[in-house]
């Protein structure tokens, strides 16, 4: 059991570091997906460990949300790319005060 | 019939308001309607007065209540009027002299395009003045009191295009307001003390209140009287008020309105009888004003201002008499009436002179007018004889009685009054010499001429009254007539017989006349006023009205102006600055908090992770602990 | 029902105006519609007046419905003599304001509809606030008046209007929030003592406890003291009045600000009598400071509209002084003062507004000698000014004197200092009149034409009322007196008896239980 959890932790950490250090929006996005899937893995593992289906249900929800998120997120990235000819997240800093 | 006494007020009031709203079409008849309204009021007043004469002494106070003016909470005031011996005399004086002055104004204001409005204001003045004297409640009296103040404001500033006239009007109103402060507080005190401000009730109950109340009331009313009657320390407005048309000076600032303060003191005799201190204050005010006014009268070269100084001085006499208590009340009123005759006469005479001299008021530009204006000269001369107190003219009787009573009160007060009589003779003689006698000093383009008959007839009527006004004293009629109002006076025995005193007074007057003749008839009078630096201190101070304006300026006007400026600054920077300061600090805080918002997704993400980490750690800490 | 109809009529009118198609300037349909609706409201208010029993002191023409049951809020209306006086003021002033505003040049002529709609909305909401007998309903209406006024100032005012509008809104919102806190407190306490209710009649019986009562009182008082500006919370008023159109200023100062003083009488005094008594020394001092401070600042102004705003600060000082002196005389005076001040300030704002529109400047120093070219305008300004300085014979004198006389029986120093205000009043009005109207005609004023017929028609009713009520104030006082007696007995304060009372046998009106 611990192996699954360890893998999930490793994946999550990779994702988190990726979000923080990468500049390419697509890669950042992929890292977010990686984190989501790491949590899914944790959910499913715990679900099996506890012997009930709550965790699996949660994992389904995460998948649905992730799918929706990909749709919205990718389209934002695409439109940003179209206007700015760049997918670097650092260049889209209009919120800077 | 006495129930209809409100008509006395209503007639001129309706006429005045009507003339104001009547448009240009009214210009042709305005002056006639205004005069007719005043005359009608006089006629009705005369009828009432004769009816009053026909009643017994006990029934000579006729009150009527029109309606409840104010009834709120425990405050109750009826719009009521009282026609009694005192107000009856005043009604005749106001409407009688008023009508003559209306007639005179028809000629005097003939070429003024706003003549209709002038008559409307005069009518409103008459109505307000009648309200003042007929009122049976102090608050109703106050209504008239402020009404005459308003009329005076409008009429002093009648020639509004002259900045000096507008300034004088404002000054008169504001100074009067200071006096009104006293009146208003006095009425409030009456209300708090007695629960009413009815004149009869207050004066009747004053003896059962504590003495300090009477003194406070007396002083507060005196403050009001000082404002209205131009007594020291609120005297400064009267000389400036001469900016108004001359009939206004005659009616308002000589014969009637300025004497309202004396009326107030006499009418409030119950209060002043109950307080020795308040009476003393009245005497002091009267005496100081008497001498100050005379001083100013000696120094002014402007004929109207010289007369205004004289008015101040004569009202000082009346105040002095009123301060003497029951012994003096009747004589105060007596002098008030005779003064109303001769001073109105002289002001109108001065107006007539100005009319012939292209509205020049500078006496040094006159001289030798007696041959050019015989009627004006003759009537003015009668007024002159009356005011300086030459027997048997009106002023002699009234002033003589006041000085006599003053000696009965206190030797030094009497001496002050006596000195005043001498100075009066001096400045009036000076005025006569400079205007009508001496050699001519006017310029080539001036063509002095006698005024039209519509102006001279009122002069003749008033001159006649100035001559025979003393008749009221016949058989002590005026004292006995007023006794039910003013109370009985015990007679003071003088150290010397009255006839000796009369001779002394006449001698002092003669000295004053002689001194003026000595100074002003000896050598030709300069056609220009000598510069301030070349005249004596006394003349200089008199010319500057004893530095009253300078004093007001230094003590009141300038500090107020500075305070106002400071407060305007304070309101912007202090009060509002505090509030906007709070808003600005909030803004600064936001500016500071803005700094971490870099706009980089990474930094937001890092914050998020950091936050989550903190949360997790906190949860762990809680569960493990 | 009639009160609901009265309040709803102008609101419905506002909605109607908003729905009317916009039109360009030459057609005045919106203006006439607005005028018509305000006149209908005036007639309705006279009907209300006719059905009002003048001798009864309590609330009449009441209506009550459950509104929000959860926290005991009712839709509950009713008027006493004080409320109906102010409703009458509102319904009289609105047609005057609307008629006077016909000539206003708006920044955007197409927004005429909106401007008049907002005016009617103010009228309806103010009537509602004067008639509300439920604290929650009152609060909602009280705050709702901010919306139309915000748009009236912010959309139709002078160049600096946005700043003024925001300042107005923030000040009043802060007050409103403090009041909201008190409203919540009222709910908590009344719920703790039984069924929660916001009805005035229920709340009067609630025992709050000394400290809580004081806190709740302060919440209400803060809102009212900002609204009817009490020193030092007044600075929004000159800015707002300096930027708003004359009509807006009238609605703001003469009508909506009266909700503040009305609230002090109706809510502060009736709900928290002990706390009001506790706070009265401080409030009396602040009121006297307001009187003198407002007057002195008015003397120092060069902008006519700011000058009038500061005179109002001074006059509100008198009103508040009279309220917190707790005598029937002063309170009746204050109530009458609200009415009279409304009239006199309306006349002042409107006539100076007409003058300013012609000259294109509000600076006193730009005027001079106007009397020569516009004598009627000058006469109206003088009458309005004299009423502002409380000349006897004009309506405000009666109320001012009642306030002072009542205060005098309670505190002589307060009355004496307040009376100084009458001297300062003469200064600020007459200096302004002198500089604007008299002297030789200053260049630039040739274009100041005299009032036209429409303008005279709008000002005449105000002038007639000012003069008429100066001589015959009793019709108003008869309405006010019974309500005042009820309020004062609720506060538990009696009039100090005269020290040496005089027996007057011939005035039966002296009786009447003031204990």
What is the share, in percent, of chain C residues with pLDDT greater than 90? 69
pLDDT at B466 over 70: yes
Residue B137, classed as helix, strand or coil, is: strand
Mean pLDDT of C125-154: 94
Q: What local confidence, expressed as pLDDT, does residue A1 receive?
A: 72
The residue among B545, B320, B319, B519 whose CA lies nearest residue B427 is B519
Using 50, 70 and 90 to split pLDDT, how confident is the model at C509?
very low
Residues 229-248, chain C, touching B (beta carbon < 8 A):
231-232, 234-235
Q: What are the structure tokens assigned to C76, written together?
A: 């509950």
**Chain A residues within an 8 Å CB radius of B598:** 93, 96
pLDDT at C487 over 70: yes
Considering only residues B621 and C196, tell me which one the structure prediction assigns the higher pLDDT. B621
Least confident range from B28-37, B51-60, B319-328: namely B51-60
Contact C29, C20 (CB under 8 A): yes
Provide the phi-psi class of B195: left if phi over 0, else alpha when psi is between -120 and 50, else beta. Answer: left
Q: What are the structure tokens assigned to C406, written together?
A: 């009542």
Predicted model pTM: 0.90
Cβ atoms < 10 Å from Cβ of A2:
7
Q: What local confidence, expressed as pLDDT, does residue B446 receive?
A: 85
Mean pLDDT of C60-88: 90
The residue among C365, C305, C341 whose CA lies nearest residue C466 is C341
Write the CA distances from C187 to A7, B571, C190, C202, C274, integer angstroms.
Answer: 56, 38, 5, 11, 19
ipTM > 0.95 (yes/no)? no
Cβ atoms < 10 Å from Cβ of B385:
22
Q: How many residues does chain B have?
A: 625
How many whole angstroms separate alpha carbon B435 and alpha carbon B376?
11
Non-local (6+) Cβ contacts of A80 within 8 A are: A25, A87, A92
> Hey, are the CB atoms on B163 and C439 less than 8 Å from each other?
yes
Q: What is the pLDDT of residues C252-277, one digit of tens each?
A: 999 999 999 999 999 999 999 999 99
Cβ atoms < 10 Å from Cβ of C194:
11
> Hey, are the CB atoms on A96 and B605 less than 8 Å from each other?
no
Chains that touch B (3 or more CB pairs under 8 A): A, C
Write the CA distances from B295 to B236, B309, B504, integer angstroms.
Answer: 14, 8, 21
Q: What local confidence, expressed as pLDDT, does residue C27 receive?
A: 60
How many whole angstroms separate alpha carbon C59 and alpha carbon C200?
10
Three-class SS of B144-198: HHHHHHHHHHHHHCCCCCCHHHHHHHHHHHHHHHHHHHHHHHHHHHHHHHHCCCE
B621 Cα to chain C: minimum distance (Å): 37
Q: What local confidence, expressed as pLDDT, does residue B546 receive?
A: 87
Q: Which residue has 């708090």 as its token pair?
A: B192
B565 Cα to chain A: minimum distance (Å): 42
Q: What is the pLDDT of residues C225-258, one digit of tens each?
A: 999 999 889 999 999 999 999 999 999 999 999 9
Q: What is the pLDDT of residues B1-42, one digit of tens each?
A: 788 899 999 999 999 999 998 878 888 888 999 999 999 999
Residue ranges of the alpha helices (H) in B259-393?
Answer: 260-267, 269-274, 276-299, 303-323, 326-356, 374-388
Q: What local confidence, expressed as pLDDT, does residue C508 receive?
A: 40
How many whole angstroms separate alpha carbon B395 and alpha carbon B572?
60
Using 50, 70 and 90 to split pLDDT, how confident is the model at B182?
very high
Decide if C50 touches B, using CB distance below 8 A.
Answer: no
Q: What is the pLDDT of residues B535-552, one digit of tens each?
A: 888 888 888 888 888 998
Pairing of strands C73-79, C60-68: antiparallel
Residue B54, classed as helix, strand or coil, is: coil
The per-residue b/e assignment along C258-290, b for 16 or more CB within 10 angstroms, e otherwise, is: bbbbbbbbbbbbbbbbebbbebbeebbbbbbeb
Q: What is the pLDDT of residues B118-144, one digit of tens each?
A: 999 999 999 999 999 999 999 999 999
pLDDT at C511 over 90: no
Q: What local confidence, expressed as pLDDT, does residue C466 receive?
A: 95
Q: What local confidence, expressed as pLDDT, does residue C256 receive?
A: 94
Contact B389, B400 (CB under 8 A): yes
**Chain B residues within an 8 Å CB radius of A19:** 602, 605
Please name the member of C336, C433, C501 whose beta carbon is closest to the beta carbon of B194: C501
Contact B344, B251 (CB under 8 A): yes
Using 50, 70 and 90 to split pLDDT, how confident is the model at C502?
confident
The residue among C86, C163, C92, C191 whose CA lies nearest residue C129 is C86
Q: H-helix or E-strand containing B426?
A: helix B411-435
Gyration radius of chain C's alpha carbons: 22
> Hey, are the CB atoms on A97 and B594 less than 8 Å from each other?
yes
Determine the residue of chain A that is closest to B594 in CA distance: A97
> What interhelical angle do A25-50 and A54-84 show, nearest 10?
180
| Nearest 10 degrees: Cα torsion C505, C506, C507, C512 | 40
Q: What is the pLDDT of residues C161-198, one digit of tens each?
A: 899 999 999 999 999 999 999 999 999 888 888 788 88
Q: What are the structure tokens assigned to C473, written together?
A: 């104030």
B614 Cα to chain A: minimum distance (Å): 16
Q: What local confidence, expressed as pLDDT, does residue C25 receive?
A: 58
Please name the member of C371, C473, C498 whose beta carbon is closest to the beta carbon of B192: C498
Report the Cα B569 to chain-centroid distance in Å: 37
Using 50, 70 and 90 to split pLDDT, how confident is the model at B176?
very high
Using 50, 70 and 90 to split pLDDT, how confident is the model at C503?
low
Q: What are the structure tokens assigned to B237, written together?
A: 């407005």
pLDDT at C433 over 90: yes
| A/C Cβ contact: 3+ pairs below 8 Å | no
Cβ atoms < 10 Å from Cβ of B346:
30
Contact A27, A77 (CB under 8 A): no
Least confident range from B239-253, B430-444, B556-570: namely B430-444
**Chain B residues within an 8 Å CB radius of C504:** 196, 198, 201
Residue C330, classed as helix, strand or coil, is: helix
Report the Cα A43 to chain-centroid distance in Å: 15
Cβ atoms < 10 Å from Cβ of B347:
31
Mean pLDDT of C217-221: 94
Q: What local confidence, expressed as pLDDT, does residue C507 receive?
A: 43
CA distance between the termini of chain C: 34
Q: H-helix or E-strand containing C76?
A: strand C73-79
Contact B208, C500 (CB under 8 A): yes
> Hey, are the CB atoms on A16 and B599 less than 8 Å from each other?
no
Using 50, 70 and 90 to split pLDDT, how confident is the model at C513?
very low
pLDDT, averaged per 10 consecutive residues of chain A (97 residues), comes to 90 91 88 93 92 91 92 90 82 70
Q: What are the structure tokens assigned to B245, written together?
A: 């048309």
Mean pLDDT of C37-54: 93
Using 50, 70 and 90 to split pLDDT, how confident is the model at C514?
very low
Chains that touch C (3 or more CB pairs under 8 A): B
Contact B470, B397 (CB under 8 A): yes
> Hey, are the CB atoms on B600 and A94 less than 8 Å from each other?
no
Contact A45, A3 (CB under 8 A): no
Residue C504, classed as helix, strand or coil, is: coil
Decide if C493 touches B, using CB distance below 8 A.
Answer: no
Q: What local confidence, expressed as pLDDT, does residue B327 receive?
A: 86
Asked, as a colleague might, if the bond just before B392 is cis with ω within 30 of 0, I would say yes
Cα dihedral sign for C271, C274, C275, C279? Answer: positive
User: B624, exposed or middle or buried, with CB in 10 Å at 0-12, 13-18, 19+?
Assistant: exposed
Non-local (6+) Cβ contacts of B358 within 8 A are: B445, B446
Q: What local confidence, expressed as pLDDT, does residue C24 receive?
A: 61
Q: What local confidence, expressed as pLDDT, does residue B119 receive?
A: 94
Q: H-helix or E-strand containing C90?
A: helix C81-100
Q: What local confidence, expressed as pLDDT, does residue C209 receive?
A: 86
User: Chain B interface, mutation test: which of C405, C431, C482, C484, most B Cβ atoms within 10 Å?
Assistant: C405
Mean pLDDT of C461-470: 94
Using 50, 70 and 90 to split pLDDT, how confident is the model at C506?
very low
Considering only residues B596 and B332, tell me which one the structure prediction assigns the higher pLDDT. B332
Q: What local confidence, expressed as pLDDT, does residue B619 receive?
A: 94
Q: What are the structure tokens assigned to B359, written together?
A: 């509205």
Q: Report the number of secondary-structure helices (H) and strands (E) in chain C.
A: 22, 2
The per-residue b/e assignment along C111-137, b for 16 or more CB within 10 angstroms, e otherwise, is: bbbbbbbbbbbbbbbbbbbbbbbbbbb
Q: What local confidence, expressed as pLDDT, does residue C26 receive?
A: 56
pLDDT at C512 over 80: no
Please name the member of C434, C439, C495 whose beta carbon is closest to the beta carbon of B74: C495
């Amino acid at each position: 059991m611990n192996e699954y959890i360890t893998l999930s932790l490793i994946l999550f950490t990779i994702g988190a570091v990726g979000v923080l250090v990468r500049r390419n929006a697509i890669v950042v996005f992929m890292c977010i997906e990686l984190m989501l899937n790491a949590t899914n893995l944790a959910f499913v593992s715990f679900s099996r460990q506890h012997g009930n289906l709550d965790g699996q249900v949660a994992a389904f929800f995460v998948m649905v949300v992730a799918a929706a998120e990909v749709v919205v997120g990718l389209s934002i990235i695409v439109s940003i790319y179209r206007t700015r000819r760049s997918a670097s997240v650092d260049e889209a800093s209009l919120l800077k005060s | 019939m006495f129930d209809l006494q409100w008509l006395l007020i209503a007639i001129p009031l309706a006429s005045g308001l009507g003339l104001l709203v009547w448009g240009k079409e009214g210009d042709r008849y305005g002056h006639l309607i205004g005069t007719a309204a005043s005359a009608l009021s006089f006629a009705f007043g005369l009828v009432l007065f004769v009816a009053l004469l026909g009643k017994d002494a006990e029934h000579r106070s006729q009150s009527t209540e029109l309606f409840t003016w104010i009834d709120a909470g425990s405050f109750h005031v009826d719009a009521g009027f009282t026609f009694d011996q005192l107000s009856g005399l005043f009604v005749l004086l106001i409407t009688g002299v008023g009508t003559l002055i209306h007639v005179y104004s028809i000629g005097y204001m003939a070429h003024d395009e706003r003549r209709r409005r002038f008559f409307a204001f005069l009518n409103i003045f008459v109505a307000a003045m009648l309200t003042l004297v007929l009122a049976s409640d102090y608050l109703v009296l106050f209504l008239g009191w402020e009404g005459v103040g308003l009329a005076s404001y409008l009429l002093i500033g009648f020639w509004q295009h002259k900045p000096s006239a507008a300034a004088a009007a404002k000054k008169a109103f504001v100074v009067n307001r200071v006096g009104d402060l006293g009146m208003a507080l006095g009425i409030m005190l009456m209300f708090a003390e007695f629960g009413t401000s009815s004149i009869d009730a207050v004066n009747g109950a004053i003896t059962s209140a504590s003495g300090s109340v009477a003194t406070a009331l007396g002083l507060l009313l005196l403050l009001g009287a000082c404002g209205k009657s131009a007594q020291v320390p609120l005297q400064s407005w009267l000389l400036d008020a001469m900016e108004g048309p001359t009939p206004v000076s005659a009616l308002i600032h000589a014969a009637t309105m300025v004497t309202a303060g004396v009326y107030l003191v006499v009418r409030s005799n119950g209060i002043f009888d109950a307080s020795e201190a308040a009476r003393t204050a009245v005497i002091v005010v009267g005496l100081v004003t008497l001498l100050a006014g005379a001083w100013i009268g000696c120094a002014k070269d402007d004929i109207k201002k010289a007369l205004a100084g004289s008015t101040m001085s004569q009202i000082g006499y009346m105040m002095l008499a009123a301060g003497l208590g029951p012994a003096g009340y009747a004589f105060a009123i007596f002098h008030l009436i005779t003064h109303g005759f001769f001073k109105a006469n002289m002001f109108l005479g001065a107006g007539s002179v100005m009319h012939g001299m292209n509205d020049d008021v500078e006496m040094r530009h006159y001289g030798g007018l007696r041959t050019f204006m015989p009627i004006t000269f003759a009537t003015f001369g009668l007024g002159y004889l009356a005011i300086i107190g030459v027997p048997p003219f009106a002023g002699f009787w009234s002033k003589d009685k006041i000085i006599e009573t003053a000696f009965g009160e206190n030797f030094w007060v009497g001496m002050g009054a006596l000195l005043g009589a001498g100075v009066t003779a001096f400045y009036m003689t000076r005025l006569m010499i400079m205007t009508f006698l001496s050699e001519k000093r006017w310029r080539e383009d001036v063509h002095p001429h006698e005024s039209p008959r519509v102006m001279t007839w009122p002069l003749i009527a008033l001159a006649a009254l100035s001559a025979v006004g003393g008749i009221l004293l016949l058989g002590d009629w005026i004292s006995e007539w007023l006794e039910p109002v003013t109370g009985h006076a015990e007679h003071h025995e003088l150290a010397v017989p009255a006839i000796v005193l009369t001779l002394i007074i006449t001698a002092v007057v003669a000295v004053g006349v002689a001194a003026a003749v000595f100074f002003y008839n000896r050598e030709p009078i300069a056609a220009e006023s000598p510069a301030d630096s070349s005249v004596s201190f006394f003349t200089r101070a008199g010319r500057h009205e004893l530095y009253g304006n300078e004093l007001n300026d230094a003590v009141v006007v300038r500090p107020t102006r500075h305070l106002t400026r400071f407060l305007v600054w304070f309101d912007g920077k202090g009060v509002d600055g505090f509030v906007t300061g709070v808003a600005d600090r909030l803004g600064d805080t936001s500016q500071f908090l803005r700094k971490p918002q870099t706009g980089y997704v990474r930094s937001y993400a890092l914050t998020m992770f950091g936050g989550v980490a903190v949360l997790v750690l906190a949860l762990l800490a809680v569960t493990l602990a | 029902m009639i009160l609901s109809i009265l309040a709803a009529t102008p609101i419905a009118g506002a909605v109607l105006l908003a729905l009317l198609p916009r039109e360009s300037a030459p057609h005045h349909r919106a203006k006439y519609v607005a005028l018509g609706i305000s006149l209908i409201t005036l007639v309705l208010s006279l009907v209300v007046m006719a059905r009002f029993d003048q001798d009864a002191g309590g609330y009449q023409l009441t209506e009550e419905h459950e509104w929000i049951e959860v926290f005991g809020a009712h839709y509950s209306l009713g008027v006493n003599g004080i409320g109906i006086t102010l409703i009458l003021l509102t319904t009289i002033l609105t047609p005057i304001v609307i008629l006077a505003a016909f000539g206003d040049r708006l920044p955007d002529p197409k927004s005429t509809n909106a401007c008049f709609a907002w005016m009617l909305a103010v009228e309806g909401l103010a009537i509602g606030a004067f008639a509300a007998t439920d604290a929650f309903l009152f609060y909602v209406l009280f705050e709702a008046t901010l919306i139309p006024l915000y748009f009236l100032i912010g959309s139709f005012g002078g160049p600096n209007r946005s700043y003024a509008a925001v300042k107005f809104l923030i000040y009043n919102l802060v007050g409103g929030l403090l009041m909201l806190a008190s409203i919540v407190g009222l709910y908590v306490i009344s719920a703790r003592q039984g069924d929660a209710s916001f009805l005035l009649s229920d709340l009067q019986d609630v025992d709050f406890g000394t400290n809580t009562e004081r806190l709740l009182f302060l919440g209400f008082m803060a809102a009212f003291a900002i609204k009817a500006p009490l020193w030092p919370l007044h600075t929004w008023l000159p800015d707002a009045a300096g930027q708003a159109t004359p009509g807006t200023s009238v609605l703001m100062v003469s009508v909506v600000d009266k909700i503040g003083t009305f609230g002090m009488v109706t809510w502060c005094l009736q709900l928290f009598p002990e706390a009001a008594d506790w706070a009265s020394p401080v409030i009396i001092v602040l009121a006297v400071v307001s009187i003198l401070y407002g007057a002195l600042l008015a003397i120092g102004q060069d902008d006519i509209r700011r000058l009038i705003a500061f005179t109002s600060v001074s006059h509100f000082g008198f009103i508040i002084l009279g309220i917190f002196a707790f005598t029937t005389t002063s309170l009746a005076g204050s109530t009458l003062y609200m009415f009279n001040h409304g009239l006199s300030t309306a006349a002042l704002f409107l006539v100076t507004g007409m003058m300013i529109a012609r000259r294109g400047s509000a600076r006193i120093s730009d005027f001079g000698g106007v009397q020569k070219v516009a004598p009627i305008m000058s006469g109206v300004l003088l009458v309005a000014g004299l009423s502002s300085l409380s000349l006897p014979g004009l309506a405000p004198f009666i109320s001012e004197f009642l306030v002072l006389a009542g205060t005098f029986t309670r505190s002589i120093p307060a009355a004496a200092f307040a009376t100084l205000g009458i001297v300062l009043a003469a200064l600020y009005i007459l200096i302004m009149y002198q500089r604007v109207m008299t002297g030789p005609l200053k260049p630039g004023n040739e274009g100041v034409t005299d009032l036209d017929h429409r303008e005279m028609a709008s000002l005449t009713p105000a002038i007639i009322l000012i003069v008429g009520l100066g001589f015959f104030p009793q019709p108003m006082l008869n309405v006010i007196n019974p309500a005042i007696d009820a309020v004062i007995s609720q506060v538990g304060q009696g009039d100090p008896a005269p020290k040496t009372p005089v027996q007057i046998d011939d005035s039966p009106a002296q009786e009447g239980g003031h204990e």
